[in-house]
Structure 1
């Protein structure tokens, strides 16, 4: 049985009141501190946390009294949630004008969608979300679809995912110039690709989704600035197959006066798209220095992708079935909706220190793990390639020796 700590007398009670505290020995000061700790038991004030139905507690008690809990569940601050709610609540998808089939409140539907965006694995399944939030399974599905439709509506999407203004463009150029050289300031834009793994092999052209990491995934391309962790253009390569993206088809207008985009070595070199050197040229001295500065500039695109995935963990492993073309479209809209909310939050959460933000740190760890894994895969592939090349070289060498042995044998026969 746990014994209750006895409250000991304080220093004032143990010594005369006239004693000067400045003459107090350090040992006595430490003892007083320990006595105070034992008397109070807690360093911080205890908080009574309301509990009950998660959805109700989230939108009522935690939203006002425990914003840290609210953000951990819905991945945005209460202020961002309210602003996002104002932006989508008038969308026609939330107003069916039915007297018999009344919808769930818009704020509850938004909370359901954000909860699913922010979790992955079994925790984001319809059954688990329905049981966790106390909703019907059909309500979870319909709420998510309605919110995604509202977020991907042109009015909301284009306000969040947009081309940078001239002021933002100039700030990005100044950042690039500061971190490289003045001649590089026109390379103010970054592009990066990331894989969104799927939880199961798609039934719709399944083998086409198999990636170099031995997963089934969507390949998403994102564009961003060096001065922000927002993304302002995205494309799912499976959804847009056979269609032209805006930047490659309009780069003369979008990137005037010789401006260009920075990319990694996986992208093909273009007049408007600069990438670091690949092996074996990257091992040359000056090329190594060039690659170092390119990496130093475009690392912010890695941060942007990491922040996005850190905020919305469903992008770590998308729990959606891909059985037909419509499912591909829904998966694409899911990703775009996450980007819309992320960019919206970046505007309304400027006071949050990114260096200590749990979402950013989590995403950064995820990106670093991806880079390390990709490096290991590339190294393994290179080892396999070298082994095959060495075997081929041995075969060619043996061909030469066989020929020489035959020639020597023929010469000996002629002499005989």
Structure 2
């Protein structure tokens, strides 16, 4: 039994922003920006007679799926929330991920080193950490990144004390380093 809750997203975006954020984990403006960026990707256009659902539905389902973990993240639960089949949840997740990864360089870019905002960021970083990290960008310090399901390889090593599967991140990429070193 499925009953789509996707139709509530417009209402949430206009009247209950916290509910929109709780479902998709992005602001409505960010959702629209991502949608505009990926909508023309060829993966969403088929020459067969079986047309795909609108990209907005696929993106919303994807964001709900990857934004939840534990019981709420199973394809079955996402399918029930979105009012689609489990197979479509899996397809939407794969298709949207392909489209987003193809737009990687549009979504992620390193700001110019001489930008005034970068100097403020360097000063802040130096004041709160150490001089060696002054020119770092894309820093994360022990951020927990929840995984929506148990990894197939060494799965138990990703399980934390709060009964979640997650990654811990501690990264600092120096500004003078070429992004391609880490991107490839």
TM-score normalised according to structure 2 size: 0.73
Instruction: Work out the number of aligned pairs and report it.
Output: 169
Where does structure 1 lack aligned partners over 5 or more consecutive residues? 1-51, 224-232, 234-246, 256-416
**Per residue, is there more helix in 1 or in 2?**
1
Give me the CA root mean square deviation.
3.4
Is the CA contact 1:200–1:216 (under 8 Å) kept in the aligned structure 2? yes
Equivalent positions of 1:68-87 (< 5 A) are: 68-87=18-37
Q: Deviations over 1:379-400 (max 9, x none)?
A: xxxxxxxxxxxxxxxxxxxxxx
Q: 1:143 maps to what in 2?
A: 92
Q: Deviations over 1:145-200 (max 9, x none)?
A: 111111111xx2123322232214312222245x369x938723245455656654
Q: 1:211 to 1:116 in 2, by over 3 A?
A: closer
**Structure 2: runs of 5 or more not aligned:** 179-184
CA separation in 2, counterparts of 1:213 and 1:117? 18
Matched with 2:177 is 254
Q: Which has the higher contact order (CA 8 A, sep 6+)?
A: 2
Tell me the CA shift for residue 73 of structure 1.
Answer: 1.1
Query: Which structure has greater strand proportion?
Result: 2
Q: What is the correspondence of 1:1-20 to structure 2 with a 5 Å cutoff?
A: none
Match in the other structure for 2:111: 164
Partner of 1:119: 68
Cross-structure match for 1:131: 80
Q: What is the match of residue 182 of structure 2?
A: none
Alpha carbons of structure 1 residues 149 and 54: separation in structure 2 relative to 1, 3 Å: same
Instruction: Call closer, same or farther: CA 1:197–1:84 in 2, change over 3 Å.
Output: closer
- Whether 2:7 is the aligned partner of 1:56: answer yes
Q: 1:164 to 1:138 in 2, by over 3 A?
A: same
- Whichever of the two has the greater Rg, that structure is 1
Q: Is the 8 A contact 1:85 1:107 kept in 2?
A: yes
Give SS of 1:82's match.
helix
